[in-house]
Amino acid sequence: MARPPAVTLLLVHGGGFCKDAWDPIVRRLQDAPLLAGRTDFETFDFSWHGSQRDESVAAQVDRSNPEKPRVSHPAQDIVTWAPQEVWRQVQRIRAEQRARGQSGTTPLIGIGHSMGAMSLWKTEVMHPGTFSGLILFEPGYGIRVPENDFAVNYLVSITLQREAKWYAFCSRCLKNMFMLTSGSIVDRPNRAAAEEHFYNLRNFARWDREALAGYLRGGLIEESDSSISLACHPLIEASLYCHTPLYLSDEMLQRPRCRIYFQGGGRSKVYNHRAFEDMATRYPEIYRTRRLIPNLSHAMVMEGPALCTDKILKDLGTLVPAEGEPLHSRI
């Protein structure tokens, strides 16, 4: 009978992404001597993302101020529903462990990006002792003030410009329509056309190609008419950026019973470094900040999966027990 894993890693994606975006990091972690052969890896798609696509409710766009477009949708309330989904995933993981004859108490470490990082953090706040450690890449946090709206304005604006669907076309029909005799128009698979669109986008130029391939693998859906659509519609993604950020009272900041590491990008415009440094100063037994990762923006796990993996492994070195040593979720 195989030995139970020494640790379970739960990797949680950010808004607009999907579980497959973690593939380059998971691949590297699986090969790491610290984790090889003794780690279970868990990922999932949030609602409205990847395999959980849902366009049953239409998003509402407010362009009354052209410089500050806003989008309303149920997905917008990420501080409420996203941590609830993480908690359900934790319960699923524990139930499956017990069904396999394990104790259901294997140390669980959360690794999250953006919305996923925030969700892991709030889950630990609401259910202290759930995790044995958290590694958080730029969780959204703080009180939003008008001076900081520039980031929301930018993210919403560029997302609203994004294409959402790619249709099939018939070259023979087009030739007949335009009385063409040459073979200059070529039939192309819809998915290939959609993928090429993203590979050529300037906003995605800094992304690691393997990470982009993972994002497209889980983030593009084939429709019944053979067209290809984004699993997370741009209007829904734009609504995520219009959310009210997580903000915790002093009492809530002290609830976690595990070590929490904050990671940020050197090029990021949204990382609340000052707030996290203050937490690390006031509650050093819980929070730690790491040096900013050079040349990476908020989309760091997509831009630099190798660098992010190195950071994860350094933090895991303080969280994962050596062979034969127990690990406790409480500090």
CATH number, domain at 198? 3.40.50.1820
Mean pLDDT of 78-96: 98
Question: Which pLDDT score is estimated for 48?
Answer: 98
- 8: CB partners within 8 A, 6+ apart: 39, 40, 41, 42, 93, 97, 106, 107, 108, 109
Lowest mean pLDDT among 75-79, 92-96, 291-295, 325-329: 325-329
| Whether 54 contacts 251, CB under 8 Å | no
Question: Which pLDDT score is estimated for 189?
Answer: 56
What is the radius of gyration, based on Cα positions, of the chain?
21
Count of domains for the chain: 1
Q: Please give the Cα distance from 283 to 131 (Å, whole number).
A: 18
User: Which residue from 177, 184, 160, 183 is spatially nearest to 73, judged by alpha carbons?
Assistant: 160
User: Helix 78-99 and helix 115-126: axis angle, to 10°?
Assistant: 70
Confidence of residue 81 (pLDDT cuts 50, 70, 90): very high
Tokens of 256: 């976690």
Q: Please give the Cα distance from 188 to 77 (Å, whole number).
A: 39
Confidence of residue 202 (pLDDT cuts 50, 70, 90): confident
Question: Which pLDDT score is estimated for 6?
Answer: 86
Mean pLDDT of 299-324: 92
- Longest distance between any two alpha carbons in the chain, whole Å: 75
- DSSP label at 246? B
- The tens digit of pLDDT for each residue in 306-318 reads 999 999 999 999 9
| Whether 132 contacts 329, CB under 8 Å | yes
- 14: CB partners within 8 A, 6+ apart: 112, 113, 114, 115, 116, 117, 301
Question: Which pLDDT score is estimated for 167?
Answer: 79
Question: Which pLDDT score is estimated for 225?
Answer: 85
- The tens digit of pLDDT for each residue in 165-179 reads 887 554 444 444 344
What's the sign of the alpha-carbon dihedral 118, 124, 130, 135? positive
Mean pLDDT of 89-100: 95
Place of tokens 């949204």: 270
Question: Which pLDDT score is estimated for 147?
Answer: 72
Question: Which pLDDT score is estimated for 194?
Answer: 85
Question: Which pLDDT score is estimated for 166?
Answer: 87
Confidence of residue 221 (pLDDT cuts 50, 70, 90): very high
Confidence of residue 329 (pLDDT cuts 50, 70, 90): very low
Q: For residue 299, what are the domain limits?
A: 1-331
Mean pLDDT of 235-254: 98
Note if the pTM is more than 0.85.
yes
Q: Please give the Cα distance from 308 to 305 (Å, whole number).
A: 5
User: Which residue from 14, 22, 50 is spatially nearest to 271, judged by alpha carbons?
Assistant: 14
CB atoms under 10 Å from CB of 23, counted, come to 19
Question: Which pLDDT score is estimated for 322?
Answer: 65
Q: Residue 222 pLDDT more than 80?
A: yes
- The tens digit of pLDDT for each residue in 28-48 reads 999 999 998 889 999 999 999
Q: What 3 state SS string does 70-111 have?
A: EEECHHHCHHHHHHHHHHHHHHHHHHHHHHCCCCCCCCEEEE
Tokens of 28: 């590297």
- DSSP label at 196? H
User: Which residue from 201, 17, 235 is spatially nearest to 114, judged by alpha carbons?
Assistant: 17
Q: Residue 129 pLDDT more than 50?
A: yes
**Residue 103 vs residue 260, higher pLDDT:** 260
Q: Residue 214 pLDDT more than 90?
A: yes
Lowest mean pLDDT among 13-27, 91-105, 293-307: 91-105
The overall average pLDDT reported for the chain is: 90
CA distances from 25 to 298, 301, 317 (A): 16, 8, 16
